[in-house]
């Protein structure tokens, strides 16, 4: 009961006066500890150069225009309605595009360019029936989890395509915006140093 | 067009998307301090915090077209920063598992309460915080250092309030275990 009282106090759900002496004593210890944390993790205003550096980087980006708006439109998540028959055909097409027989994990699904500019679209899938959102992130997007997957038919299978350049990438799924989940279907994994496993994705340029 | 200082966030976002990329400067001015302060509390180094804030703003600019609620661009940028910081912590802690080397933290302004905290405790407080998972640290800092409401934090971390409370509780438990003789 004491622990619960302290917990409620720390969560702002009850006052110190409403607790017994023992709980009050522990609450005071926590107040002192939290004061130490506040003292040791001070914030500070941004340095004056931040604004100019941000703007310099932005100005170095390609001019936003029709191409950017078109690209944004293409990448914008939208519901995709497929009949079972169409889905079957699409799945068959994806399987046919898998480069290595018997490989598991995400599958490259196409090429959007040639030579150094080659981009391969990789299909990611995760079964997560209880998820509110699923995205994929990894070395290819600086672990932003910036590529949302979709489950338009509500069957719990989240899927999406991500454009990546050929290379070796670690990745994970970001479930509900905060929980990183290892791809259980990946062919290879690597230890992330915290007892978790990152899936490893090898993307090769399609043969020309 | 309204003077820069009078433009609402939503107007600024619309202007940037319409091609006035310099208008983005207003958002950096409005939210730079808040983003930098949070990053600093999480990583402890002013240089790294500024780099992370910079990264968040550039990412925000790139993704501005996907923003559904332009009037909430500040919260949206903060959420991007939180992701950037989380990722940074995952990567750096992966490489530097040893916690003997602590990040540089600027000397804080001491209040009357903090005067009683000795240097040894301060050092252990910093070590303990660095031993939490990035997610626990983030939840703890947002709640108990920045004093944000659970509802606000839940929106940043995309968690339910119940799940968030449990995460903060777990963080406190972990810290209590690490600082037994203090709490």
Chain A residue whose CA is closest to B128 = A37
Is it the case that residue B94 has pLDDT exceeding 50?
yes
The strand pairing partners of A191, in sequence order, are A197
Phi, psi of A20 (to 5 degrees): -80, 175
Is it the case that residue B53 has pLDDT exceeding 70?
yes
% of chain A residues with pLDDT over 90: 10
% of chain B residues with pLDDT over 70: 79
Residue A151 CA to residue A82 CA, distance in Å, equals 11
Residue A38 CA to residue B113 CA, distance in Å, equals 10
Chain A residue whose CA is closest to B103 = A41
Quick one: DSSP state of residue A193? Answer: S
- Looking at the domain that runs over A85-203, which CATH code has it been given? 2.60.40.10
Per the rule left: phi > 0, alpha: psi between -120 and 50, beta: everything else, B103 is beta
- Report the residue count for chain B: 183
pLDDT in tens, A44-100: 899 999 999 999 999 988 765 555 455 444 544 444 444 556 556 655 655 554 444
- Partner-chain contact B144 A50, CB within 8 Å: no
Measure in Å the smallest separation between the Cα of A85 and chain B Cα atoms: 32
Residue B156 CA to residue B150 CA, distance in Å, equals 10
Alpha helices (runs of H) in chain B, residue ranges in sequence order = 9-17, 24-43, 46-63, 73-95, 119-131, 134-140, 150-157, 161-178
Using CA atoms, how far residue B138 sits from A103, A198, B11, B82, B158, in Å, is 37, 21, 31, 8, 12
- The alpha carbons of chain A give a radius of gyration, in whole angstroms, of 24
For B141, the token pair is 């800092």
- How high does pLDDT run on average in chain B? 82
Return the closest-CA partner of residue B182 out of B100, B108, B101, B127. Answer: B127
pTM, two decimals, is: 0.59
- B104 part of contact set with chain A, CB < 8 Å: no
Q: Which residue has the tokens 């730079």?
A: B32
Q: How confident is the model at residue B151 (pLDDT cuts 50, 70, 90)?
A: very high
pLDDT in tens, A14-40: 888 888 898 898 888 888 888 888 887
Measure in Å the smallest separation between the Cα of A39 and chain B Cα atoms: 6
- Partner-chain contact B83 A34, CB within 8 Å: no
Quick one: DSSP state of residue A153? Answer: T
- Partner-chain contact A177 B157, CB within 8 Å: yes
**Of the partner residues A37, A132, A142, the one whose CB lies closest to the CB of residue B129:** A37
Measure in Å the smallest separation between the Cα of A166 and chain B Cα atoms: 22
Using CA atoms, how far residue B85 sits from B48, B103, B131, in Å, is 10, 14, 15
Q: How confident is the model at residue B111 (pLDDT cuts 50, 70, 90)?
A: very low
% of chain A residues with pLDDT over 70: 69
- How high does pLDDT run on average in chain A? 76
Q: CATH fold of B107-183, please?
A: Arc Repressor Mutant, subunit A (1.10.10)
Q: Range with the lowest mean pLDDT among A38-52, B34-48, B51-65, B122-136?
A: B122-136
Mean pLDDT in residue range B145-164: 91
- Which one has a higher pLDDT value, B25 or A86? B25
Residue A160 CA to residue A126 CA, distance in Å, equals 9
Q: Which residue has the tokens 């130490």?
A: A36
Mean pLDDT in residue range B33-58: 94
Q: How confident is the model at residue B101 (pLDDT cuts 50, 70, 90)?
A: very low
- Partner-chain contact A39 B38, CB within 8 Å: no
Beta-carbon contacts of B16 under 8 Å, excluding residues fewer than 6 positions away, are B23, B24, B27, B61, B64
Q: Where are the domains of chain B?
A: 7-101, 107-183
Q: Range with the lowest mean pLDDT among B19-23, B72-76, B95-99?
A: B95-99
For residue B81, the SS3 value is helix
Instruction: Say how far residue B83 (Cα) sits from the centre of its chain.
Output: 9
What pLDDT score was predicted for residue B27? 97
Instruction: Say how far residue A204 (Cα) sits from the centre of its chain.
Output: 22
User: Which chain B residues are Cβ-neighbours of A10 within 8 angstroms?
Assistant: 144, 172
Phi, psi of B170 (to 5 degrees): -60, -40
- Which one has a higher pLDDT value, A120 or B33? B33
Alpha helices (runs of H) in chain A, residue ranges in sequence order = 2-10, 21-40, 49-60, 66-75, 84-97
User: Which chain A residues are Cβ-neighbours of B43 within 8 angstroms?
Assistant: none
Measure in Å the smallest separation between the Cα of A165 and chain B Cα atoms: 19
Q: Where are the domains of chain A?
A: 2-40, 85-203
Beta-carbon contacts of B93 under 8 Å, excluding residues fewer than 6 positions away, are A193, A194, B130, B134
- Of A44, A56, A133, which to mutate for an interface test with B (greatest number of B Cβ within 10 Å)? A44
**Long-range contacts formed by A46-49: CB under 8 A, 24+ apart:** A46/B32, A46/B33, A46/B35, A46/B36, A46/B37, A46/B50, A46/B53, A47/B36, A47/B46, A47/B50, A49/B50
Residue A37 CA to residue B144 CA, distance in Å, equals 8
- B161 part of contact set with chain A, CB < 8 Å: no
- Which one has a higher pLDDT value, A13 or A113? A13
Contact A197, A189 (CB under 8 A): yes
Interface confidence, given as ipTM, is: 0.80
Cβ within 8 Å of A, B 36-65: 36-38, 40-42, 44, 46, 49-50, 53-55, 57-59, 61-63, 65
CATH says B7-101 is which class?
A: mainly alpha
């Amino acid at each position: 009961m004491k622990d619960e009282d302290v917990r409620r106090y720390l969560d702002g759900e009850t006052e110190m006066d409403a607790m017994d002496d023992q709980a009050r004593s522990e609450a005071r210890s926590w107040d002192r500890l939290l004061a130490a944390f506040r003292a040791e993790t001070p914030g500070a205003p941004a340095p004056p150069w931040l604004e100019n550096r941000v703007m310099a980087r932005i100005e170095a980006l390609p001019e936003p225009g029709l191409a950017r708006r078109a690209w944004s439109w293409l990448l914008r998540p939208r519901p995709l309605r497929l009949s079972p028959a169409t889905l079957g055909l699409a799945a068959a097409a994806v399987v046919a595009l898998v480069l290595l027989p018997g490989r598991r994990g995400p599958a490259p699904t196409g090429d959007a360019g040639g030579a150094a500019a080659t981009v391969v679209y990789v299909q990611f899938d995760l079964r997560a029936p209880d998820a509110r959102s699923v995205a994929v992130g990894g070395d290819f997007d600086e672990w932003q989890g910036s590529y949302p997957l979709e489950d338009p038919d509500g069957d719990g299978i989240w899927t999406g395509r991500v454009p990546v350049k050929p290379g070796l990438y670690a990745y994970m799924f970001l479930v509900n915006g905060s929980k990183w989940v290892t791809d259980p279907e990946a062919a290879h994994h690597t230890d992330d140093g915290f007892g978790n496993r990152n899936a490893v994705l090898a993307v090769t340029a399609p043969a020309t | 067009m309204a003077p820069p200082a009078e433009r609402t966030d939503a107007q600024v976002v619309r202007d940037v998307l319409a091609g006035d990329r310099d208008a983005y400067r207003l958002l950096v001015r409005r939210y730079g301090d808040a983003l930098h302060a949070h990053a600093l509390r999480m990583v402890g180094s002013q240089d790294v915090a500024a780099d992370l804030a910079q990264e968040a703003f550039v990412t925000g600019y790139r993704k501005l077209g996907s923003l559904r609620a332009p009037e909430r661009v500040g919260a949206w940028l903060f959420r991007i920063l939180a992701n950037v910081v989380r990722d940074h912590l995952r990567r750096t802690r992966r490489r530097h598992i040893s916690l003997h080397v602590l990040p540089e933290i600027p000397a804080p302004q001491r209040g009357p309460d903090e005067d009683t905290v000795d240097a040894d405790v301060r050092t252990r407080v910093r070590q303990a915080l660095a031993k939490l998972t990035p997610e626990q640290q983030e939840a703890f800092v947002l709640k108990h250092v920045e004093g944000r409401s659970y509802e606000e934090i839940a929106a940043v971390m995309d968690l339910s309030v119940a799940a968030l409370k449990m995460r903060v509780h777990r963080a406190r438990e972990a810290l209590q275990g690490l600082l037994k003789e203090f709490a």
